[in-house]
Amino acid sequence: MAELPEQSEADQPQAEQNQVEQSHASAPLSVASRRPMVVTVLVLAVVGVAPVLAGALGFDYLLGTLTRAVILGMAAVALDYVVGYGGLVSLGHALFLGTGAYTAGILVLQHDAGTGLGTDQALLAWPLAMLVGAGFGWVLGALALRTRGVYFIMVTLAFNQMMFFLFNSLAAYGGDDGVRLSTRDRLGPLSLDDDSVFYYVCFLLLVVVVVVFNRLVRSPSGWLLRGARDNELRLRSVGANTRRHQLAAFVLSASVASLAGALAVNESQFLSPAISHWTESGELLVMVIIGGVGSVVGGVLGAFGLLVLEELAIEFTDDWQFFVGLGLIVIVLLARRGLAGLLLGGHRNV
Amino acid sequence: MELFLEQTLNGLQSGFTLLMISSGLTLIFGMMGILNLAHGSLFMVGAFVAADIGARTGSFTAALLAGVAGAALAGVLMETVVVRFLYDRDHLDQVLATLGLVLMANQGVQMVWGIAPRTVTRPPWLEGSVSLFGLDYPIYRLAIIAAGVATVVVLWWLIHRTKVGMWIRAGNTHRDLLGALGVNVSLLYTGVFALGAALAGFAGVVASPYLTVEAGMGDNFLILSFVVIVIGGIGSIRGAVYASLLLGLVDTWGQTYLPTVVGRLTDPSTAAAIGSSLASASIYLAMVVVLLMRPQGLYGAPRG
């Protein structure tokens, strides 16, 4: 943070009253290091060529895992915005994977049943999934944001469990066993049933998500979000409506996670409440931490890191979860800023 | 009326079970400021050890003692190897490290005891039922209620009437001063953690005759005790008592009466499904009401 102008100026007393305006005014892109940008582009480039590389090396079977990593990476980037920049640790983001998955899944099932209420058009289903996710994010976020800190963790986890039970009770849509979907959504002339095409559609959406969040963290709202994380009382006392920006961040994050959920159900073609189990919320947080909290692209690194780690662990042992848990504890206790921390060195992605 | 009495007793029984778990969790949080996701795993460890010893010896008493001791031991291990390094970390690190413990515990019990579900059987001397106001009610459930009441009394006595309790209360607010006065704070922390673990293990053993002993069996209880803590107020044992009983009753009454109420409006099979999901949601609705009226919880200190 040392290279940012706010830090030094905020030390002067007269600057304090204007801090909000200052945050607005001084978009520090020009003075900030270019390194986060370079790392972001590099990471996305590697993700872009990953299927080709995997194919060339004879790991074709990894394409499914890579697709899941792209999808969950998208959700992790969205979660990082709330956790890393907002300081609001949500242990309930898998519920939004669930809202997206169930929106897209139910639409396909209704389409198959010919009720006229369904659709298999991605251009309809996916935005709708985002809208539903935003709706749930707005209601649950407004409630959860009445608390902070450890309460926020517990409340979001409780909402996660509530939705998990709700999805379990949808007997018409698979109940607790889940249900197979006949088809992936249709996207214009593209054939999403082709796994490579589907991968690159997910990849393009991931790029859009990363670009959007990269811009957001440099926007006035992003600065306010971080300011509220570091000293909420102070921002409120100068008249900033911190809760509004926190809620906006939560809603946006929920909506992107919901899109990821819709993509995930397309990937697996299997609609099941397992996607919103509370440990999935934990896994998303793990991705954020492995990748590096508050770094945007770290979520992508974390998703690839975790899924590849799991894939490797499965190769060696049936008890892989034991070792994933062990690895997690070691990472938390030893590596503080994750993979992105290593790549970024001392440079923060603002 | 008999149905109401029966369901009320059932609600109290599940409330007291929840209380045994959440009182330990809230005690640990109040004292050490740590959010332990692996608290539900201690519940599970208690149940697994009890199922094992129970099957070997045929004695419920032995199973109960072993389950409580096993959970306490697991708690001490957890605290000394992992948790004590998290006291000064932020909540995110605490959540992730203890989530790692959850994954290890869920897999660990399967590595030790296999994947086949196990059972804990009720002791013969608590079989049968007694007549209460014309209702035949299982003795075992009454025994759980009695054990819950005993837990509350013992905890109250421990915290408010003993020297250790004085240290615990002092440690909540003045950790450094307590250490300066010659109390071994680190040992006290381990002790409180073990106490909370033993309570969770105790709950795991007494509840498991009504449950299947399997990996992940503690997860839902963990989340329910979070709801208890949000409602009761963090670090408040008194809040945990009232909130646990409230949730136990709301849940049980909901499961019993909501399907009937919904049944007046729609056909029986849909009514059963809707009613039961409404009942599951009712405890979270209770939490939402408390969040709207009193975000710090019933007995929590006001924030900010």
Residue predicted with more confidence, B81 or A58: B81
Is the model's pLDDT at A235 over the cut of 70?
yes
DSSP assignment string, A282-342: HHHHHHHHHH-TT-STHHHHHHHHHHHHHHHHHHH-TTHHHHHHHHHHHHHHH-SSHHHHH
Residue A171: list chain B partners with CB under 8 A. Answer: 273
Report DSSP state, residue A186.
Answer: B
What crossing angle do the helices spanning B2-32 and B139-161 adopt, rounded to 10°? 30
**Contact call for residues A36 and A348 (beta carbons, < 8 A):** yes
β-bridge partners, B136: B131
Is the model's pLDDT at A29 over the cut of 50?
no
Average pLDDT over every residue of B130-150: 92
Average pLDDT over every residue of A162-179: 90
Per-residue pLDDT, A333: 85
Residue predicted with more confidence, A261 or A307: A261
Per-residue pLDDT, A2: 40
**Nearest-angstrom CA–CA distance, B254 and B12:** 13
Is the model's pLDDT at A31 over the cut of 70?
no
What is the separation of C-alpha A273 from the centre of its chain, rounded to a whole number of angstroms?
19
What confidence tier does A159 reach under pLDDT thresholds 50, 70, 90?
Answer: very high
| Contact at CB, A151 and B91, closer than 8 angstroms | no
Per-residue pLDDT, A16: 41
Residues 6 or more apart from B80 whose CB is under 8 A from it?
Answer: B190
Residue in A closest to B34 by C-alpha: A150
| Contact at CB, B287 and A166, closer than 8 angstroms | no
What confidence tier does A191 reach under pLDDT thresholds 50, 70, 90?
Answer: confident
Average pLDDT over every residue of A179-196: 91
pLDDT digits (tens, 9 = 90+) for A293-312: 888 999 999 999 899 888 88
Residue predicted with more confidence, A31 or A294: A294
Average pLDDT over every residue of A164-193: 90
pLDDT digits (tens, 9 = 90+) for A38-66: 889 999 999 999 999 988 998 888 899 99
Residues 6 or more apart from B51 whose CB is under 8 A from it?
Answer: B63, B113, B118, B119, B120, B208, B213
Is the model's pLDDT at B165 over the cut of 60?
yes
Per-residue pLDDT, B275: 78
**Nearest-angstrom CA–CA distance, A281 and B141:** 35
Size of interface A-B (CB pairs under 8 A): 128
Average pLDDT over every residue of A198-225: 96
Neighbours of B54 (CB within 10 A): 26
Residue B295: list chain A partners with CB under 8 A. Answer: 146-147, 151
pLDDT digits (tens, 9 = 90+) for A7-25: 443 444 444 444 444 444 4
Residue in B closest to A91 by C-alpha: B95
Per-residue pLDDT, A328: 87
| Contact at CB, B96 and A285, closer than 8 angstroms | yes
Per-residue pLDDT, B209: 93
Average pLDDT over every residue of B213-240: 91
Is the model's pLDDT at A194 over the cut of 80?
yes
In this structure, which amino acid lies at residue A313? A
Residue predicted with more confidence, B262 or B24: B24
Q: In this complex, which of A83, A233, A321 lies closest to B92 when CB atoms are compared?
A: A83
What confidence tier does A350 reach under pLDDT thresholds 50, 70, 90?
Answer: low
Per-residue pLDDT, A338: 66
Residues 6 or more apart from A346 whose CB is under 8 A from it?
Answer: none
Tokens of B94: 């605490």
Q: How far apart are the first and last CA of chain B?
A: 46
Residue predicted with more confidence, A251 or A31: A251
Angle in degrees, CA A34, A38, A39, rounded to 5: 115
Tokens of A306: 């975790």
Numbered residues of chain B with Cβ closer than 8 Å to any chain A Cβ: 29, 35, 37, 82, 85, 89, 91-93, 95-97, 99-108, 110-111, 219-220, 223, 226-227, 229-230, 234, 273, 276-277, 280-281, 284, 287-288, 291-292, 295, 303-304
Tokens of B82: 């992992």
Residues 6 or more apart from A63 whose CB is under 8 A from it?
Answer: A51, A54, A55, A195, A196, A199
Of the listed ranges A336-340, B41-45, B63-67, the least confidently predicted one is: A336-340
pLDDT digits (tens, 9 = 90+) for A107-157: 999 999 988 889 999 999 999 999 999 999 999 999 999 998 888 999 999
Neighbours of A186 (CB within 10 A): 17
Is the model's pLDDT at B126 over the cut of 80?
yes
Q: How far apart are the first and last CA of chain A?
A: 7
Residue A148: list chain B partners with CB under 8 A. Answer: 303
Q: In this complex, which of B95, B227, B295 lies closest to A91 when CB atoms are compared?
A: B95
Residue in A closest to B100 by C-alpha: A325
Q: Round the average pLDDT of chain B to a whole number and report it.
A: 91
Q: In this complex, which of A154, A166, A332 lies closest to B96 when CB atoms are compared?
A: A332
Average pLDDT over every residue of A183-212: 94
Q: In this complex, which of A83, A169, A325 lies closest to B104 when CB atoms are compared?
A: A325
What confidence tier does B133 reach under pLDDT thresholds 50, 70, 90?
Answer: confident
What confidence tier does A348 reach under pLDDT thresholds 50, 70, 90?
Answer: low
Per-residue pLDDT, A313: 83
Per-residue pLDDT, A9: 39
Could you give the ipTM of this predicted complex? Answer: 0.89
**Contact call for residues A271 and A171 (beta carbons, < 8 A):** no
